[in-house]
Amino acid sequence: MTPPLEKRARDKTAGFSIIEVLVAFVILSMVVTLCLQVYASSAKSESMAHWSEEAHIVLRDRLAALATLELQPGQQAEGVAADGLRWTVLAGQPIGNGDVGSGRGVVWFTAQVTDPTGRVYTASTSRWLGETFPEEAQ
Tens-place pLDDT, residues 98-129: 555 555 678 889 999 999 889 999 999 888 77
pLDDT at 97 > cutoff 60: no
- Domains contained in the chain, CATH given: 15-129 (2.20.130.10)
pTM, full prediction: 0.64
Closest CA relative to residue 79, chosen from 65, 93, 89: 89
Tens-place pLDDT, residues 39-93: 999 999 999 999 999 999 999 998 888 878 788 888 899 999 888 899 999 988 7
- For 47, how many CA atoms within 13 A lie in the half-sphere containing its CB? 11
